[in-house]
Chain A
Amino acid sequence: DGGITQSPKYLFRKEGQNVTLSCEQNLNHDAMYWYRQDPGQGLRLIYYSQIVNDFQKGDIAEGYSVSREKKESFPLTVTSAQKNPTAFYLCASSITWVNEQFFGPGTRLTVL
């Protein structure tokens, strides 16, 4: 069954802790993306990667980090430097940057 998956679905974090969100795809897509979704603000790009071992900052990269060691995986770490991390995080992938992006089911992160 092909697709893009994210885990966990819900995540709770204490202030000052780093947390890593998982994103895996078996669609053989080169490009992968991380978005943050807040009410009334649409989807904002955090980081994106077009090829393995390379990635670019998006519009709101501060307080986040990523890695792209494998084509299938693009984990996102929310660090303690992110001042307002409570949000819904969506991962996406596409064949290339100018093709349809397929989204994962999302991870809802809540900072306690």
Chain B
Amino acid sequence: GENVEQHPSTLSVQEGDSAVIKCTYSDSASNYFPWYKQELGKRPQLIIDIRSNVGEKKDQRIAVTLNKTAKHFSLHITETQPEDSAVYFCAASIRARGAGGTSYGKLTFGQGTILTVHP
């Protein structure tokens, strides 16, 4: 099955600096790569995602890059702010076939990165 490795497990930066979190995946058939942010005591929420036909996607201070050949993707946060402090999870989605030819898919998550932004 799919295996997703995420690094680093913890990341500490000063406010205004950039933060980069990297993930690798094992199955070349994976085609959807979301990033989730989970604040303490809250549910995970999608912050950005990218599909396998795109190499880069940007949304204000957040960007994600995908290298299909190397099977890795990265989250970039610029001009970090204290409210960016949270746990960030990457994930990869792979398609599977169920009974009767129905398409299924599931996300495999990385282990998470605890990002701390110091004022």
A42 within 8 A of B: yes
**Binding site secondary structure of chain B:** strand
Check if B43 sits within 8 Å of A50, measured CB to CB.
no
Interface size of B as a range: 20 to 34
Closest to B104 in A: A50
What distance in Å separates the Cβ of A93 from its nearest Cβ neighbour in chain B?
Answer: 12
- Please choose the segment from B12-20, B62-70, B76-84, B94-102 that sits at the chain A interface, where 4 or more of its residues have CB less than 8 A away: B94-102
Scoring A42, A44, A97 by chain B CB atoms within 10 A of each residue's CB, the highest score goes to A42
Known contacts A97-B95, A100-B34, A106-B43; A40/B102 CB under 8 A? no
Residues of chain A lying within 8 A (CB to CB) of residue B93: 97-98
Check if B98 sits within 8 Å of A100, measured CB to CB.
no
Closest to A97 in B: B105
Total A-B Cβ pairs within 8 A? 65
Check if B46 sits within 8 Å of A101, measured CB to CB.
yes
Scoring B103, B104, B108 by chain A CB atoms within 10 A of each residue's CB, the highest score goes to B104
Residues of chain B lying within 8 A (CB to CB) of residue A33: 106-107
A41 within 8 A of B: yes
**Once the chains are docked, how many angstroms separate the CA of A41 from the CA of B111?**
5
Check if B45 sits within 8 Å of A103, measured CB to CB.
yes
**Once the chains are docked, how many angstroms separate the CA of A54 from the CA of B101?**
13
Given known contacts A45-B108, A50-B104, A56-B104, what 13 new A-B pairs fall within 8 Å (CB)? A33-B106, A35-B109, A40-B9, A41-B111, A42-B111, A48-B106, A54-B102, A59-B1, A97-B106, A98-B105, A100-B34, A101-B34, A106-B43
